[in-house]
Structure 1
């Protein structure tokens, strides 16, 4: 069997979506005007808020979502759909409207994160594409935001590429940067998204050399004294001594990657200061998550390197988002299945705030002719923004840097108890005004 070496963007869809498309084209319902919504019924355990991630990547993917000859030939050869459906897919271009929460926005159970309007045919084929991106990126962004909060202003670097799929690694680096990480070790993320990159040598580099001193000398000769030296390959006390001896007191940083990093950081700080390297920073890494970072808050740590916990969502690898049909030809429709209910009708949301700026509730309301819209208070704001109109991206959408600032501001509006790492109620309650 021959396997294609390059993945197809068009086939980032599930067969059941094409099954529905084929059936709807056959009976004429494919052209009904529909509204689909992306939302989550609940936050992952232990989370009090979610962070929207992946919106920009979703828009890129939709704009480039095409079924070329190779994809259509494969569908035909496997008998996935009939000839009429193949012909429809051949000319597919999304021509509908999309509104949604911008990247970096907080979300809660029931928040209408993305509203997709178009014919049933053109909207239904986007389900897997949209959810695969937003569930992944929002999960990473949510975990990363908790880590950034725990770091309390200290530098934090994403370095999890070796712990996930190669494309997920790039997306995870982007989501982490969105959430406030300082840099990534993933060079493709740097090239593709303009994210600052950073990194240092691994233990293999030290082991390659006949002595730790020779390894340090080679790294400093190549990268200068501002580099970060990994000092715990053998004996950390001796490693720090050699690092300062080789690089001098202007050594940029030392990294500790094993052991009780809190205790070792205190000892390292004392030793560095005693050697005159008072400006040399201490970076720690090694299976860190938000809880470990929070526990190190009182230690003399200047930066963190986070890998596995970040790229796996730190215990919540998905944001649990769903993509549901809520309106057909202007008529609300809703799923009634036990524990999987949905609310019919197109919706939007207002975030209400106190005069101090603290958010107090999220009001979700119907958008329809004759539906009452909640009154916008002096400190309230609409959460959704236009994203696509007639299949085209609207002008002046937020950049990745804009989204970083949006999240930073949004977290300031969260009541203090909503920032706790422990389990509890959502930081901001959702109120439904959908009658």
Structure 2
């Protein structure tokens, strides 16, 4: 069993097993192959992407099995023949995986993940790899844009009720990777050690006979450092009542509706007049990176983001593909119009100015020759699995989170703009 709560084996698509069966039958399934995962382009308007989900992919590959229930399902549906079922019963990935570490920036054509193994053992991983990388990379990329827009103010992830229950956990992890401060998802805390926080909803206020009773109950249970939701009825009266109940030591108020910029300004003035100078203001309610950027000049101390985060803020998939690029050492490439690929296993370096600003990403054949090294070049891929086992000592979630911060700092200033534009740096293919 995996963190998905069930076997990952049937995350394989039907067409992958169709190819597998045919390849096993004609003997080509044992040919050594290389598959690469990359994005042909960034989502419209985006200037960079952030790799997310790598650790989850590696865990899922290591746990990828076809148990009795899955094999019975395939047999009952007559998806594959008995020989293929027998092969699947003994499936273990024994190949190698290399790729960009989690939290690394990527651009069009970046070889984000490379899987090396026989055709048979690698082809069945396509849906598994893409479902995780496409989702998590989309979420962490959106999160990074929001964090940049927030300009050091903390953001709380609170989108669990706006997506699938498993996607909610993955989204919370990806948001934290991208720089969010906390999440409201307790399962994400259990699985990934993410700090959590939360406040009450309007239902808690409506439950009580008065707003005062609701606030008093919350303060009694949570202490004065709690966050009170003040806009269930009249926000001005709500703030007055909150300070009367909790005193000027109240931790924070939350505003969840209306023109939050104007309301935050008015709330700050009111709180200061009441002596609650250190009471923070948290705003939420359909925020995205553009709304957050528009609030920079307002006295907002923290943001709560839900729907736009878990939907990738308009780009719910990273658009990555998993393509066969090498067979038995021979480069192979797709030539379909608008879906061309470049054959052969590839590596990449990122070039920087002496100041640390990224200049370009150079992608070159792994078979060499390697481009002449410049002083501030940095190799991007690293070993992730060897012989089917996850490499020890891979970066932790906290280290990956730090990598995101460093990557954003390395972008040219125009690369952080929220307006539509070309990728922040160019990718150059050599060889």
TM-score (norm 1): 0.98
Give the equivalent residue in structure 2 for 1:273. 272
Report the CA distance between 1:376 and its aligned residue.
2.2
User: Residue deviations 1:205-242, cap 9 Å, x none?
Assistant: 00000000000000000000000000000000000000
Q: How far apart, CA to CA, are the structure 1 residues paired with 2:373 and 2:5?
A: 49
Report the CA distance between 1:9 and its aligned residue.
1.2
1:379 is aligned to 2:348: no
Q: How far apart, CA to CA, are the structure 2 residues paired with 1:174 and 1:10?
A: 23
Residues 143-154 of structure 1: pairs in structure 2 closer than 5 A: 143-154=142-153
Give the equivalent residue in structure 1 for 2:209. 210
Give the equivalent residue in structure 2 for 1:365. 364
Change (3 A) 1:258 1:99: same
Report if aligned partners of 2:169, 2:185 keep a CA contact under 8 Å in 1: yes
3-state DSSP class of the match of 2:98? Answer: strand
User: Residue deviations 1:349-404, cap 9 Å, x none?
Assistant: 00000000000000000011xx2101221111100010000011112100000000
3-state DSSP class of the match of 1:26? Answer: helix
Q: How far apart, CA to CA, are the structure 1 residues paired with 2:354 and 2:360?
A: 13
3-state DSSP class of the match of 1:314? Answer: helix
Q: How far apart, CA to CA, are the structure 2 residues paired with 1:395 and 1:89?
A: 27
Unaligned runs of 5+ in 1: none
Q: How far apart, CA to CA, are the structure 2 residues paired with 1:6 and 1:183?
A: 24
Q: How far apart, CA to CA, are the structure 2 residues paired with 1:46 and 1:160?
A: 23
Give the equivalent residue in structure 2 for 1:402. 399
Residues 19-418 of structure 1: pairs in structure 2 closer than 5 A: 19-368=18-367, 371-418=368-415
Q: How far apart, CA to CA, are the structure 1 residues paired with 2:282 and 2:407?
A: 28
Report if aligned partners of 2:140, 2:174 keep a CA contact under 8 Å in 1: yes
User: Residue deviations 1:147-176, cap 9 Å, x none?
Assistant: 000000001000000000000000000000
C-alpha RMSD of matched pairs (Å): 0.8
Report the CA distance between 1:8 and its aligned residue.
3.2
Report if aligned partners of 2:271, 2:277 keep a CA contact under 8 Å in 1: yes
Q: How far apart, CA to CA, are the structure 2 residues paired with 1:170 and 1:196?
A: 13
3-state DSSP class of the match of 1:11? Answer: helix
Report if aligned partners of 2:7, 2:64 keep a CA contact under 8 Å in 1: no
Report the CA distance between 1:6 and its aligned residue.
6.5
TM-score (norm 2): 0.99
Give the equivalent residue in structure 2 for 1:428. 425
Q: How far apart, CA to CA, are the structure 2 residues paired with 1:242 and 1:321?
A: 51
Report the CA distance between 1:326 and its aligned residue.
0.1
Q: How far apart, CA to CA, are the structure 2 residues paired with 1:245 and 1:375?
A: 69
Q: How many positions carry a matched residue from both structures?
A: 428
Q: How far apart, CA to CA, are the structure 1 residues paired with 2:324 and 2:298?
A: 50
